Amino acid sequence: MQEQSNYNEESIKTLEWQEHIRRRPGMYIGKLGDGSQADDGIYVLLKEVIDNSIDEFMMGNGKKIEINVSDEEVSIRDFGRGIPLGKLVDVASKMNTGAKYDSKVFKKSVGLNGVGIKAVNALSESFIIRSIRDGEVKEVEFSAGIKKREEKVVPTDEENGTHVLFRPDLSIFKPYHYINDYVSSMLKNYTFLNAGLTILFNGERYYSRNGLLDLLHETMDSDPIYPVIHLKGEDIEVAITHGNQYGEDYYSFVNGQHTTQGGTHLQAFKEAVVKTIRDFYKKDFDASDIRASIIAAVSIKVEEPVFESQTKTKLGSKDIGPSGPSVRYFVTNFVQTELDNYLHKNSESAEVILRRIQESERERKAISGIKKLAKQRAKKVSLHNKKLRDCRIHYDSKNDRKNESSIFITEGDSASGSITKSRDVNTQAVFSLRGKPLNSYGLTKKVVYENEEFNLLQAALNIEEGLDELRYNKVIIATDADVDGMHIRLLLLTFFLQFFPELIKKGHVYIFQTPLFRVRNKRKTYYCYSEEERLAAVKKVGANAEITRFKGLGEISPDEFSVFIGPEIRLEPVTIHKGDSIKQVLEFYMGKNTPERQEFIIENLHVEKDEV
């Protein structure tokens, strides 16, 4: 007979605030991660502290924020009013404590629940907070949310403000690395949304005078086909234009917070643009033709915003405020009125928009037949047989607690077979390419449906209609570390950049890093990803070291693959630097300058030329 566990008063436990955060960090900062994705926890910690400084600026206090980020320590210094010194400990370590409950002090702020900075405190092995206020300064130090040191108030000649220094706790986080591109993108967005704010990031100055207009010009990799439409009202700002790229690009914000998953405001904005365009031209255009190649940003301010999680990536609010209109009505009314006025006053832009819609309509109709046949072919081919070894759990872009599913894109049966045998069948899928993909540079989207490999890859990822139904959070290109492998990698990146650039822009594409060497003796094995790591491993193993040089993925056994694709997997995110022109990048890599391109690829492979 099974023994029953005792359920009594002793079974009921109350966790201290910091212990609860440390046991359930996902409730407060989403996924932990290692810094390879823009929404990993180490960036959320950074954002939670900066949000407080931004709220100070929004209330008219302090026009500069100094931020220094390294893997050893993060430092954020604002020049706002400074936290009242007598409440410094409470603000950093007591849940649901803060000034933002007083709407007169912080009317339209981001952080309303008094949790953010406490989560940073609890998840940091070192957390120091200093407040400078009216000629006095107080400093308190914590570790894992436990107070370790509290200094007395002393005089100072420093400017008012708050200074936070923290170091994420490695007992909670994986070994992590801050990627400056991710931090830079976040900070630039703060300046676009807060015109007049200066942010100094590791000594580099970010500043915006024209808000969302600057954001779009910074984001676009080529000139728009008509001048950016920039509309501003009370508590709302939008910027809209069209380019020549495939897909749709949107940037949405609430109270200065980048809502990467959109929400009620973005949905209302997209619908309002379609309705306004249809009404203006008095024609029932297909919504996809109106929005094809659109690049737009929308920012609104809401009293007491309701986000769908602590990480504040999706707005759930239905109303602007307790006594205000619905978000949908507010956004729709503004866009319909102001965009319609603009189109009537700017006939040249209106004509360009009409031609762009008509071009999209013609292209859509031209490939509709091919598209239908391609879908039928994709269904007939058993994606779950040789091409795709699927996983059981898939990514859900609409869920803040996203499933960490990934897909490895490999070339050749031996490599895909090894990964398939050693993968986690719950979260890791494998897609096998047959030979080198087609160079799609300069081709139209018809090739996505005409080429069987591309058609099946698109179907496997489920990205035909955009990223809303993307099945894998990480799309991992796994090719050999030689010239042929690099070429396959470039061909795949060309395909994504040409037809699905948002897949890369949203941080879903990675390069799989595989070891170049195995160094071992009878007791210990080291896998080395560089010559430096090989030399270090040889020193550790000693004179009897057995050294193997891996020439390709097919040479690595399934047992060894399980080491490389497990928790210690090394991935290099594929990022597009703001200001990079996708067209120019593709032209260089995949255009007709073949000798120059081949020389560049070979020089930048970092492949060992000599056998070991």
Residues 318-334: pLDDT tens digits? 767 666 678 899 999 99
Write down the H helix ranges in 250-399.
264-281, 287-291, 327-345, 347-380
pLDDT of 605 reads 41
Would you state the torsion angle of the CA atoms of residues 473, 70, 180, 214, taken in this order, to the nearest 10 degrees? 120
Q: Where is the domain boundary, 205, 231, 248?
A: 205
163 pLDDT band, cuts 50/70/90, is: very high
Neighbours of 583 (CB within 10 A): 18
Same domain, yes or no: 560 and 412: yes
347, part of any domain: yes
328, part of any domain: yes
Q: What is residue 68's three-state secondary structure?
A: strand
Q: Which helix (H) or strand (E) holds 433?
A: strand 428-433
pLDDT of 135 reads 95
User: Which of 86-90, 168-172, 368-372, 505-509 shows the lowest mean pLDDT across its residues?
Assistant: 368-372
Q: Structural domain tally of the chain? A: 3
Same domain, yes or no: 430 and 304: no
535, part of any domain: no
Same domain, yes or no: 270 and 343: yes
Same domain, yes or no: 93 and 156: yes
User: Which of 70-84, 92-106, 430-444 shows the lowest mean pLDDT across its residues?
Assistant: 92-106
Burial 115-140 (b: 16+ CB within 10 A, else e): bbbbbbbbbbeebbbbbbbeeebbbb
611, part of any domain: no
Q: Which residues contact 221 (CB under 8 A, 6 or more apart)?
A: 245, 576, 579, 580, 581, 582, 583, 584
Same domain, yes or no: 219 and 201: no
For residue 457, the domain's CATH number is 3.40.50.670
Same domain, yes or no: 136 and 233: no
Ranked by mean pLDDT, the top range of 13-17, 46-50, 313-317 is 46-50
Pairwise pLDDT comparison (419 vs 95), residue with the higher score: 419
610, part of any domain: no
Q: Is the pLDDT of residue 214 over 90?
A: yes
Same domain, yes or no: 58 and 174: yes
pLDDT of 251 reads 93
Exposed, middle or buried, 174 (CB in 10 Å: 0-12/13-18/19+)? middle
Q: Where is the domain boundary, 157, 185, 205?
A: 205
For residue 327, the domain's CATH number is 3.30.230.10
Same domain, yes or no: 145 and 201: yes
Q: Is the pLDDT of residue 82 over 90?
A: yes
185, part of any domain: yes
Nearest to 432 by CA among 449, 447, 415, 448: 415
Q: Is the pLDDT of residue 73 over 70?
A: yes
Domain around 569:
381-514+550-603
Share of the chain above pLDDT 70, in %: 84
Mean pLDDT rounded to a whole number for the chain: 84
pLDDT of 99 reads 46
> Contact at 8 Å (CB) between 106 and 100?
yes
Residue 192 φ/ψ, nearest 5 degrees: -65, -35
Same domain, yes or no: 290 and 353: yes
Distance CA 446, CA 458 (A): 13
Same domain, yes or no: 195 and 244: no
55, part of any domain: yes
Q: What is residue 238's three-state secondary structure?
A: strand
400, part of any domain: yes
Q: Which tokens in the block code for residue 398?
A: 């609409």
Q: Where is the domain boundary, 181, 205, 229?
A: 205
Same domain, yes or no: 408 and 488: yes
199 pLDDT band, cuts 50/70/90, is: very high
Q: Is the pLDDT of residue 6 over 80?
A: no
pLDDT tens track for 565-602: 888 788 888 877 655 566 666 665 565 555 555 565 44
Start-to-end CA span in the chain (Å): 62
For residue 126, the domain's CATH number is 3.30.565.10
Same domain, yes or no: 231 and 253: yes
pTM above 0.85, yes or no: no
